[in-house]
Amino acid sequence: MTRSWNRVALAGFGGALALLTLFPGLWPWALYPRANPAELLAEHLSLVGLSSLVALVVGLGVGIAVTRPAGRSFLPLARTLASVGQTFPPAAVLILAVPALGFGVGPAWVALSLYGVLPIFGNTVEALLGVSPDTQEAARGLGFRPSQILWQVELPLARPLILAGVRTSTVVNVGTAAIGAAIGAGGLGAPILSGLVTQNNGFLAEGAILAGLLALTLDAGFGLLGAASDSIRRVSPPVGA
Amino acid sequence: MIQFEGVTRRYGETTALADIDLTLADHELVVLLGPSGSGKSTLLRLVNRLLEPTVGQILVDGRDVRSYRPEALRRTIGYVIQNVGLFPHWRVADNVATVPRLLGWDKKKIARRVEEVLELVGLQAATYADRFPHELSGGEAQRVGVARALASDPPILLMDEAFSAVDPVGRHRIQGEFLEIQRRLKKTVVFVTHDVDEAIRLGDKIALLKAGRLVQFDRTEALLENPADAFVEEFLGRDRTLKRLSRVPAYTLARSIPHPGTGHVLPETTDLRLVLSHFLTEGTDVVALKNELDEISGWLHRRDLESWAKSEGSR
C-alpha cells in the first residue's frame, strides 16, 4: 500500500474515530448508556496498548534470544510453539484464560499479550535468520562484537519485517480485545456484547464501528511508520559505536 | 610474519588440517591453493580467530593470536570474502568506514581515509561514496570490499576466494589492479583460491594443500619448475611451461639494441606467454620492446623463449 494512501487513511479513519468519540451527539441513535464512547475507547486502547507492548518486548526478546548461538537449540521448539499457538482462535485463547486467571481486565491482558506475541516473534525470527550469512561473516571478520552485529547490522536489516509483525499483532489485538468484554475486560466489546444480549442493534453498531475505525487507523499508522523506517534504513551508522 | 606451528583442526571425526607448519614472511602475497576440501579456507580463518585450532598455535609477529581479544585482533587484519558481504543498509562510504569507526577514529580522519582508499581501488569517491551496495556491479562491490579491508591500513590482509564471484573478464582486471595496489602497499597477504591461474598470477609464493596437508610451499616460479610430486604436477596442469612464461616479463630476456628491423613492438613489461602468443599469431620471429616512454629498449627472438624454457625446465 502506498504512502499517500496510508496518509489519507490515517486522516480519514482517525478523524472519523475522533469525531464519533468526542461528540457522541453525532450518533443518530441512542448509545450504550453505561459508559460514553471516549471511556470505552480509552479502555480498549489501554487493553490493546499494554498487551501489544508486552507482546513486542517478549516477541522481540525471545526472537533475538533463540537466534543467538547460545539459544539456537531452542529455535525449533519456539517456532513449533509459535505456529501451534497461531492456530488457536483468539476467542479460545480468551476463554481458556478464564479458568486459569478468572474474570476481569487482568486475564484479558495476559491472553491478548500471549496471542500478540506470535506474529512479532515469528517475524523477528524470520527477519533475523534472513540476514545474509555473508553479511554476518563480514561483520564478524571485520571485528564487530556480537552485540554490535545485533544492533548495527541484524536489527536494522530486520526492522521492516519486525514492524510488519507488530502491525499485524496490534491490529488483530484490536479485534480480539473486543471479545475481551465477554470475560469482563470492558472496552468497545462491552456495547457489542450488550447489544447482542439485549438485541439492541444500536449498541452493537456503536462498538463495532468504533472498533473497526480503531483497527483501520492503527493499520494506516503502522503503514506510515513502516514506510518511514524504510527511509531510516538509508541513514548512516551510529557514530563512535 | 604469520607462523602456523603444528596446527591441526578437526571437526568431530574429520580432520580439516593435519599438522601444518608454515611461515609467511612480511610483505609477501602467499596463495593458499588447493581443491575444495583441502583446508585452505580453514587455514586462513585461523589467522583472525574466526576458527580456533584443535592443536598447535598461530603466531602473528611472534605473538600467539589467542593472547588477543578476537575482535581487537580482527580489527588489525583486513578481511575480504568471496561474496563481499557489504552491509546492504549502509552507503559505500559507511561500509568502507567500518573498521576505522570501530577503532574510534575521528570523523574527519575517517572521511579523508574513505576517499583515499576508494580512489586506491579505482572508484571515484564523488561517484560512489553515496551509493548503496545494491546499486553496484559485482566488480564494483568487490572493489568496495577490498577498500573496506584496507581502510584502517592493516599490515595483514586475508582474502578468501576474493575475486571468485566476479565474471572472468572482470576478474582478470581486478587481479591486475590488485597486483598494482600490492606493489605499492606491500601488505602481508594471505590469498585463498582454487584457481591455479589466479594463484600463479598473484602469488609471490604458493602453498599447495591437499586433504588438510601441506604438499608444497615454495616461490611460484620454483613450484612450477619443480613440482614436489605427481599431485602437484597434475594440479598445476600440463601447460606448466606456459604458466611459467606468464610470470616472466619480456625485459628480463631482452637483447640490447641495436635490433634487427621489425614492425612488431610490445611494451617491455608484457609477459613472455603473451609474447609467444604474438609470435604464433603474427607469424613473426622477432619483436621489439618499448619502455614506458615509448622508446625502443631491446628486442626478443623466438629462440630466446625456447632456450629459456629448455634451460629453466632442465634445472
B235 reaches A (C-beta below 8 A): no
Nine cell digits for residue A102: 478468572
A141 reaches B (C-beta below 8 A): yes
B72 reaches A (C-beta below 8 A): yes
In chain A the first and final C-alpha atoms are separated, in Å, by: 35
**According to the model, what pLDDT value does residue B247 have?**
83
**For residue B186, pLDDT beyond 60:** yes
Residue-wise pLDDT for B283-292, tens only, equals: 888 888 888 8
**According to the model, what pLDDT value does residue B54 have?**
96
**For residue B182, pLDDT beyond 70:** yes
**For residue B269, pLDDT beyond 50:** yes
Query: Rounded distance, CA A203 to CA A40, Å?
Result: 12
Q: Are B190 and B44 spatial neighbours (Cβ–Cβ below 8 Å)?
A: yes
Query: Rounded distance, CA A136 to CA A134, Å?
Result: 5
Residue B73's contacts (CB-CB under 8 Å, 6 or more residues apart) are A143, B48, B49, B60, B65
* Angstroms from A87 CA to nearest CA on chain B: 35
Average pLDDT over residues B275-287: 88
By C-alpha distance, the chain A residue nearest B145 is A138
Q: Which residues of chain B make contact with A140, given a CB cutoff of 8 A?
A: 50, 74
Domain B2-241 carries which CATH code? 3.40.50.300
**According to the model, what pLDDT value does residue A96 have?**
81
Residue-wise pLDDT for B54-104, tens only, equals: 999 999 999 999 999 999 999 999 999 988 899 999 999 999 999 999 999
Cβ contact, residue pair B94, A237, below 8 Å: yes
Cβ contact, residue pair B89, A145, below 8 Å: no
Residue-wise pLDDT for B193-209, tens only, equals: 999 999 999 999 999 99
**According to the model, what pLDDT value does residue A144 have?**
96
Cβ contact, residue pair A138, B87, below 8 Å: yes
Query: Rounded distance, CA B211 to CA B38, Å?
Result: 4
**According to the model, what pLDDT value does residue A62 have?**
95
The segment with the largest mean pLDDT, out of A156-170, B248-262, B273-287, is A156-170
The C-alpha cell 583446508 sits at B39
Instruction: Compute the mean pLDDT over every residue in chain B, rounded to the nearest whole number.
Output: 91
Low-confidence ranges of chain A (pLDDT < 70): 1, 229-241
Cβ contact, residue pair A156, B132, below 8 Å: no
Instruction: Indicate the pLDDT class of residue B262, thresholds 50, 70 and 90.
Output: low
Cβ contact, residue pair A145, B71, below 8 Å: yes
A142 reaches B (C-beta below 8 A): yes
Q: By C-alpha distance, which of B292, B289, B261 is closest to B275? A: B289
Query: Rounded distance, CA A194 to CA A220, Å?
Result: 29
Nine cell digits for residue B288: 621489439
Provide φ and ψ at B9, rounded to 5°: -130, 125
Q: Are A167 and A222 spatial neighbours (Cβ–Cβ below 8 Å)?
A: yes
Residues 138 to 157 of B: which have CB under 8 A from any A CB?
Answer: 145, 148-149
Cβ contact, residue pair B73, A156, below 8 Å: no
Least confident of A79-83, B9-13, B129-133: A79-83
- In chain B, where are the structural domains located? 2-241, 248-314
Q: Which residues of chain A make contact with B75, given a CB cutoff of 8 A?
A: 142-143
Query: Rounded distance, CA A26 to CA B240, Å?
Result: 92
| Percent helix / strand / coil, chain B, rounded to 5 | 40, 25, 30
**For residue B123, pLDDT beyond 50:** yes
Portion of chain B with pLDDT greater than 90, in percent? 66
User: Domains of chain A (ranges plus CATH)?
Assistant: 3-20+37-232 (1.10.3720.10)
A147 reaches B (C-beta below 8 A): no
Domain B248-314 carries which CATH code? 3.90.1280.20
Cβ contact, residue pair B90, A140, below 8 Å: no
A236 reaches B (C-beta below 8 A): yes
Cβ contact, residue pair B91, A236, below 8 Å: yes
Interface with B, mutate which of A142, A145, A155, A234 (most B CBs under 10 A): A142
Q: How many cross-chain Cβ pairs, A to B, lie less than 8 Å apart? A: 73
B73 reaches A (C-beta below 8 A): yes
Q: Are A211 and A174 spatial neighbours (Cβ–Cβ below 8 Å)?
A: yes
